[in-house]
Amino acid sequence: MSKKKIALLILVTALISSALTIMGLMKIMGLDGEKTTDLLRFFGVKRMIETRYVTDVDSSSLMDGAIDGMVKSLGDPHSIYMKSSMYKSLKEHTAGAFGGIGVTMGFKDDKVTIMSVLEDTPGERAGLKVGDEILAVDGTPVSEYQPEEVALHIRGEAGTEVKLMIHRTGEEDKEYSLQRDMIKVRSARGKMLDDSNMGYIRIASFGENTGEEFKEEYNRLKEAGMAGLIVDLRQNPGGLITSCVEVADMLVPKGNIVSVVQRDGSQESYDSSLEESTPPIVVLIDGNSASASEILAGALQDRDAATIVGMKSYGKGSVQVVVPLFHDDGLKLTIAKYYTPGGRCIDGIGIEPDIIVNLTAEDTEDKQLNMAREVLQQKMQ
């Protein structure tokens, strides 16, 4: 066989081997014909921009934009791509200390609404109120962001300034200038209610330390003679499901707390190991009680371990995972829905209280807390 034929045979063999390797990789990656075409289309556009766009472009910025666009195309307000600064802010927030203004937000009906204002924070000092709608951050309308991006743009280094355009019912829209501060959040605080043996614990959110903080408050109140407990979950936007389960393990009788179901039907159940009895419990919720706070309220309600008082909750029954990527960035993605012990998925529905008590800005006293005390007194008899 001539050298030319041998060289041609080697070339053909190499091409066939390369083709088989590529086909094998495509199969492993789950790429069928249409997906392969999409992938080629993507890389084709990327290469066209890199080589033909009128000015030089940064390849990493193109990839950031592509990932961001993919996530936005889901139409899910809770899924978000986070560049490094935003990813850092999210990690600091769940750790319990972060630079911000001290408000939590809800995202519903294409609006960004303040759900709670923490005490002694820039938000409280500036006069922001629950129910205020945020229209713009530093001059950029919130409609240009994914809903959960808004909170990450409001957070930032302590000492820096952020401007919010606020709409408040019955008033003209107003811009507020706030100086960010280091927000140190103790998410669970308790006390004995005046002239009673009733304990009261307010859970503001579910961060990394909430389970331990709740345990400290709960044990302290038991030592003080607590005979009944009010758990206040109003204006609690949720947080980490693991922290919620830690709290539930102290309140929900042994058995199921919540089940998380993914798209393929696979299910992960979180159960309580609590065998000892608890004091009678009443739980307060409102329209701003969301996510992990609804998990706790739903578990206590379905397991007949507490009476729920207040207003119907927010209705966020989805579960997100935060995944670190490769450039100090991250992806927050909805991966499952959760179900209460009774098999309820409350996403978009919310939890109905056992006793409904409406509360308005015009009320001069906390009617919901007063009702919780009345109900708890009856349960303690």
Q: The tokens 């030592």 sit on which residue?
A: 223
Segment 328-372, tens digit of pLDDT? 899 999 999 999 999 999 999 999 999 999 988 777 889 999 999
Tens of pLDDT, residue by residue, the chain (381 residues)? 566 666 666 666 655 555 555 555 555 555 566 777 888 888 888 889 999 999 999 988 999 999 999 999 998 888 999 888 778 777 766 655 568 898 888 777 778 999 888 888 999 999 999 889 999 999 999 988 877 788 888 988 889 999 999 999 889 999 999 999 987 778 899 999 988 899 999 998 898 899 999 999 999 999 999 999 999 999 898 988 999 999 999 999 999 999 999 999 999 999 999 999 999 999 999 998 999 999 999 999 999 999 999 999 999 999 888 899 888 899 999 999 999 999 999 999 999 999 999 988 777 889 999 999 999 999 998
Residues 6+ apart with CB under 8 A from 17: none
Q: Tell me the catalytic residues.
A: 291, 302, 316
Summarize the chain as % helix, strand, coil (round to 5): 35, 25, 35
CA distance 35 to 91: 34
pTM beyond 0.75, yes or no: no
* Residue count (the chain): 381
Instruction: Give me the chain's average pLDDT, please.
Output: 88
Report DSSP letters for 105-166, one per residue: EEEETTEEEEEEE-TTSHHHHHT--TTPEEEEETTEEGGGS-HHHHHHHH---TT-EEEEEE
Q: Following DSSP, what letter does each residue of 304-357 receive, concatenated? A: T--EEEES------EEEEEEE-SSS-EEEEEEEEEE-TTS---TTT----SEE-
Please state, in angstroms and rounded to a whole number, the distance separating the CA atoms of residues 184 and 359. Answer: 29
pLDDT of residue 264: 92
CA 296 from centroid of its chain's CA atoms: 15
316 contacts 288 by C-beta, under 8 angstroms: no
∠ Cα 358 361 365 (to 5°): 70
Instruction: Please give the pLDDT value at position 4.
Output: 65
Distance CA 165, CA 169 (A): 13
Q: What is the pLDDT of residue 2?
A: 64
Going from the C-alpha of 357 to that of each of 345, 367, 371, the distances in angstroms are: 23, 7, 8
Beta-ladder partners of 167: 133
CA quadruple 325, 330, 336, 342: dihedral sign: positive
Report all structural domains of the chain as residue ranges with CATH numbers, in order of start: 100-184 (2.30.42.10), 188-380 (3.90.226.10)
So what's the pLDDT on residue 367?
95
Res 90: pLDDT: 72
